[in-house]
Amino acid sequence: MHEYTGYTGQSLQFLKSNEVAVGNSVKIIADLTFFGIIMPRYEHSDDKHIVLKLNSGYNVGLEIEKIKQVEKLTTVEKNIEENEKVEKNPNLPKILLLSTGGTIASKVDYRTGAVTPILTADELNSSVPELAEMANIDTQVLFSEYSENIIPDHWIEISNKLVEYSNSDYAGILIAHGTDTMHYTSSFLSFALAGFPIPIALVGSQRSSDRASSDAALNLIGATKFLVECKTKGIYVVMHNDESDETIACHLGTRVRKNHTSKRSAFKTVGENPAYLIFKEKILKNTTKDFFTSKEFNPKINLDSKVALVKYYPGYDPNLLEKIIEMGYRGIIFEGTGLGHVGKTMYDTVKKAQSKGIFLGMTSQCIDGRISMTVYESGRDLLDLGIIPLENMIPEVALVKAMWALGNLKETNDIKEIMLCNIASEIS
């Protein structure tokens, strides 16, 4: 990394005149005294501030005009950590960690102050040494993407890689994943790999490992403990259950969504309790239900991404739906109001979509509850127009399932049937 990355104009001149650069540990005296590491900046940032990563892990922007003194404490070359070599314990089970990006498998690079991905088992052991006492962990990097950049092609790549290990001696597989779209990925894996013989846990962190309040290590430890000790199968999302560090929740991959932008307890099971809880070293099954109806592993990894998720709102322009039809979409999942409604201004366009053989499914904007389109006249009208009520499927899950169904089936009746068939507990 360039020693002045992101700094231009006044801020660049300020760093040079004080003989400091990105990655230097410094003491800065302004209105308060700050200790930290000079961080690179976003390339379009202004030139009146520098960014400092404090010892707490938080970043702070400091206005250069208010800085009275800068003292360099260490240089870029210092404070580089050496990873301890992992010693395999033949008595411990094996776990595979597949990394796809996000902040969960990351550490601070003290040369730059930046958070960098953990790429090897040695680095993982150095970052979270507790893991080596629970399992022998092999690591593999599939790709390194922010989760907002994950697309359906990535789901296919993850699925194909997992199939390679369906007959392995691993006790389970961890997937390190960014949190923003983790529940989309967990949904696809749940359908494409139904019946997978060992458990798979997607694990992320809301706060990166350089922050004092990071949930990265605890989520990794909890997910590893779950895979090693819980004799189950299926796809799970493993994250903090609440704001304390006492309980980790294991959510079914098709019944979970991210409900908060930044809380460590952002992920919640919708309409149910989390499948398992890890509390004070114990794993507690949190429901009496049998989660998975599929007994045999028969992967179906194809998909068709030409499915739209349409959130209806008062004033929604039916011409938008017309455009979706014109673009050749094969499925539309409506996120309707209440029990499953859209306004009558949509009816003609819905009828047109139905006449073209487009799959039409209805979910609800409500956080919880079940679709029931026979209660009101408007719902019954939409049923007559060919919209299929999708029980209490989460809208994002219904979207992913429709992509999967359309990718693996051709006949309209078969697609309708499988959308209402409970493949991976998506309908509770």
Burial 274-284 (b: 16+ CB within 10 A, else e): bbbbbeeeebe
Residue partners of 81: CB distance under 8 A and separation at least 6: 107, 110, 126
CA distance 342 to 252: 29
To the query of whether residue 258 is one of the catalytic residues in this protein, the response is yes
Q: Which CATH architecture has domain 307-419?
A: 3-Layer(aba) Sandwich (3.40)
Q: Where in the chain is the domain with CATH 3.40.50.1170?
A: 94-285
Euclidean distance between CA atoms 402 and 394, whole angstroms? 12
Sign of CA dihedral 209, 211, 212, 215: negative
Tens digit of each residue's pLDDT (9 = 90 or more) over 184-210: 999 999 999 999 999 999 999 887 665
**What's the pLDDT score for residue 315?**
97
Q: How far apart are the first and last CA of the chain?
A: 50
Catalytic annotation on 247?
no
Does CATH number 3.40.50.740 belong to domain 94-285?
no
CATH 2.60.40.1580 fits 9-74, yes or no: no
Q: What are the residue ranges of helices labelled H in 302-411? A: 318-326, 347-355, 377-384, 395-408
pLDDT at 404: 98
Q: Which of 76, 63, 4, 74 is nearest to 35 (CA)?
A: 74
Residues 386, 334: Cα–Cα separation, whole Å:
12
Residue type at 46 in one-letter notation: D
Ranges in the chain annotated CATH 2.30.30.520: 9-74
Q: Which member of 53, 225, 258, 401 is catalytic?
A: 258
- The active-site residue, picked from 100, 179, 181, 232, is 179
CA-to-CA distance for 13 and 17, rounded, in angstroms?
A: 6
H or E element: which one contains 417?
helix 412-419
Active site residue 180: yes
pTM to 2 decimal places: 0.85
Q: Which of 180, 306, 381, 416 is catalytic?
A: 180
Question: What pLDDT does 78 receive?
Answer: 41
- Find the catalytic residue in 100, 103, 224, 363: 103
Cα 202 from chain centroid (whole Å)? 8
User: Could you give the CA distance from residue 197 to residue 236 in angstroms, rounded to a whole number?
Assistant: 14
Q: Is 139 a catalytic residue?
A: no
DSSP 147: G
State which residues of the chain have pLDDT below 70: 1-2, 42-43, 57, 75-86, 103-122, 124-126, 208-213, 288-295
Return residue ranges of the chain for CATH 3.40.50.40.
307-419
